[in-house]
Amino acid sequence: MALAKALKYSYQYYINPGFGKAKYILPTHVNFPITDNCNSKCQMCNVWKDKSENELTPAEIEKLFSDKLFSNTKHLGISGGEPTLRKDLIECIKSIITAIKDLESLSITTHGFHPTKWNRLLPIIKEMCNEKQINFSLNVSVDGIGDLHEEVRRVENGWEKVLETIKIVKEKGIKLQIQSTISKHNIYGVNEILHYAKQKDIDVVFRKATTIERLYNKDITDEFYTANPENSFFADFLRSESVKNITQNPARKLFYKDLSKRLITNSDRNAPCHFQNNGVLISAHGEMFHCSIDNKMLGDCRKESPYDIYYSKRSIELLDDLITNKCPKCIHDQSGSWNPVTLIKEELSSKLGFLDLIGKTASFGIDNAKNLLGVSEKKVVIDNKLSNTKRIHIIGAYGGEHVGDSAILGGVILRLLKRHNSIDEFIVYSKRIDRTKFWVNGLDFEQQDVKITTLDSSELKHVVAGENDVLVWAGGPIMEMPIDLLEHYTTIKAFNKVKLNFEVVGCGWGPFKTQYSKKLALKVLNSASYVQMRDEYSQLKDIKHEVNRDPAFDYLSQDFNDKDEWSWNGHKSNEFIENIKEKGFDKLFLLNLRPMWSKYNKSNLSIDELHKIINDNIIKVLEKLPKNIAVVSVPFNTDHYGFSDMEPALDIKDLCEEKGIENYFVFSRELHARDKIKFLKNFDFGLCMRFHACIFLKSLNIPVFGLDYTAGELGKVGGLFESFNDKNYCNILSVDVDKIVDFSKKH
């Protein structure tokens, strides 16, 4: 079956003019918003304000779609408004499938707030489609889980109605897909939507909200506009393994890949679109448009032949204008036919991942050979015009950092300001510049005018420097990352070649798995004129170095004076806390959990077994806590590039719902250091797994109990608490539930 489908697709792509070529052919795909009426009041849409009348009747629909223009139509998507507001929906669908003889699939998109109607309508529609051998599917809009969905859709008890509709669809054996339109209101709810889809085994599509003329939302773009940090977060989410694993359609994976790139680079669209060559939109009143975002009507199908409108001179001129001026920046998820070879590559990439590994290994081997031969692509040039300036060039693991890493960077900068006189600029080189910019923009420095610039790490291939410039490996740790170690080592050699100093400030050491990485890391330290580490390490006894605490402490010990700088995230964070306080809780208990990582598993248990131990013990703690305490799960890493704290938080939420625990809440926003510090000050005490979550709370004098995540031996968290002579911690393999509960009662 799959092979036959693939062969048919390839035939259509290469033979059928228009699928894979820029030729204007009879539309194979039709978008039909069957009504402009809607009883949802979505924040990103104003169509509900329009009281639509004189919409196409079933007879008019049959006449329209009987036109020869639709003789090659394979798919028709019914949308709105809300389709169930058409009392004659069944008659309309009957007209469609009667008129379009070769229709292969029909989908309906609904807000899902009318479960009773769907319970009655779905069996009828399914039977009608089965008789014509048409694949039928229902798309239900889900823009958040629970309260968030109702906040976006603004319908009372809307979430309960959606759940009932989803239940009905599954019970009746109808193909189901949930579709999430992402705006500034729900960008940080995507993790929970994904979690829900996984738990319920439902196909899910994520799309970026955009201006659509027929939805009358041009004047409310601020309702769905997202800033660069949010676009960056969404881009990371779309290309994460979590989204890849749940997305079965290879074309959608390719669309996500293209969209994620465009969200952070503002590059032009590469994703194909049926509506450029073989798609059309017919409005509820019979007007024809090239696509959903097009606002220029081609003609009125009630007055003219659809075929004549579609192939008119005006239509072709408007299409040329659309493709030239709108399509390159269009982020709508309308898609088209990808090249079969590209689709095959995408499908095989997950199954033949070892080929990618072979390629990276070969490239790494070549880079090592170049290093041994003294051949380097990196070059540092001294510019005498910069002789009166001093810049610090910062390298390290930038591009994969979270809020704890940003505090480390802030602390390193404070130390460098003390070590060096008159620093004009700090330049941070990052592999994902969009992420690092977000964290840098959240840093404040007490009574210091600090200029920080973020550059792409590719800029290190050719650096123009002044004779006073310094290269610094800031923060850390220096660990088992052979590719990064080699890249940084070649950068260090390029700076040393022109006699510029290289320093290591505030770094950790290890863990290492290979002798190669360990030896290269020692070469890095031996190349430095100054080395400062976070702790005593036996392997560094022969290297001259200083030892200082984690730099995050330096940054967090500043007097920030509660700098008043408004931000959307800060505003929504305050709103979140106020909503909890209004429920009557006396105290706020911060809970921070992180996913386990094999590098920190020193036990004989599997990662899944460790997660179960952690979850079981956390639930025991929650069951024993006084009910006047609100427990809030707070992520210190929401980034899917690393290990997102949202995953264990949502697992606990599921368990709480099973156990009837009602004082557990999940905070999902990604906050930079400035907003995070303000947010944390709302809490009375905390229970934290992440090392830097513990550091944040300790620095802010918030009582914290530590969970050491190095299973089976003393790890970073345990070591931190021991350094304070603080016994309020335990290993995840020996969680003392009563001790944690007693700790909370004392504070």
Q: Are 336 and 271 within 8 A, CB to CB?
A: yes
Computed over its alpha carbons, how large is the radius of gyration of the chain?
29
Q: Are 232 and 321 within 8 A, CB to CB?
A: no
Edge-to-edge strands, sheet with 75-79: 203-208, 175-182, 135-141, 105-110, 75-79, 29-33, 279-282, 287-289, 299-300
Q: Where are the beta strands (DSSP E) in 540-656?
A: 546-547, 587-592, 629-633
Q: Are 43 and 154 within 8 A, CB to CB?
A: yes
Considering only the C-alpha atoms of the chain, give the largest distance between any 2 of them, rounded to a whole number of Å: 89
Does the model's pTM come out above 0.95?
no
What's the residue count for the chain?
747
Q: Distance between CA atoms of 401 and 384, rounded to whole angstroms?
A: 34
Question: What crossing angle do the helices spanning 228-238 and 433-441 adopt, rounded to 10°?
Answer: 140
pLDDT of residue 212: 59
Q: Distance between CA atoms of 30 and 72, rounded to whole angstroms?
A: 11
CA distances to 213, 265, 579 from 284, rounded to whole Å, are 14, 37, 41
pLDDT of residue 536: 87
Q: Distance between CA atoms of 198 and 105, rounded to whole angstroms?
A: 25
Side-chain-side CA neighbours of 325 within 13 Å: the count stands at 8
Pairing status of strand 287-289 against strand 299-300 = antiparallel
Closest CA to 117 of 127, 107, 129, 125: 125
Residue with tokens 């059309």: 280
Q: Distance between CA atoms of 533 and 550, rounded to whole angstroms?
A: 9
CA dihedral 541, 544, 550, 555 (to 10 degrees): 180
Q: Which amino acid is at 441?
A: N
Residue with tokens 């923060």: 475
Residue with tokens 């629909």: 61
pLDDT of residue 552: 96
Closest CA to 575 of 14, 282, 185, 197: 185
Three-state SS annotation for 266-291: CCCCCCCCHHHCCEEEECCCCEEECC
pLDDT of residue 47: 60
pLDDT of residue 322: 93
Q: Are 679 and 592 within 8 A, CB to CB?
A: no
Please name the helix (run of DSSP H) or strand (run of DSSP E) that holds residue 473, with its range, or none.
strand 470-474
Please name the helix (run of DSSP H) or strand (run of DSSP E) that holds residue 657, with its range, or none.
helix 646-659
Domains of the chain with bracketed CATH: 22-349 (3.20.20.70), 379-556 (3.40.50.2000), 568-746 (3.40.50.2000)
Residue 195's CB is within 10 A of a number of other CB atoms, namely 20
Q: Distance between CA atoms of 179 and 630, rounded to whole angstroms?
A: 32
CA distances to 594, 612, 616, 681, 737 from 625, rounded to whole Å, are 21, 20, 15, 21, 10
Cβ partners under 8 Å of residue 639, min gap 6: 233, 236, 400, 402, 435, 670
Residue with tokens 């003889």: 101
pLDDT of residue 377: 78
- Which mean pLDDT values do the consecutive 10-residue runs of the chain (747 residues) have? 66 62 81 89 63 88 97 94 94 98 96 96 97 97 92 86 97 96 91 95 92 56 67 90 89 94 92 92 96 92 96 94 93 87 78 60 66 74 92 92 94 95 94 92 86 95 95 90 91 94 94 90 94 90 91 92 76 94 95 91 92 96 95 90 85 96 96 95 96 96 96 92 96 95 90
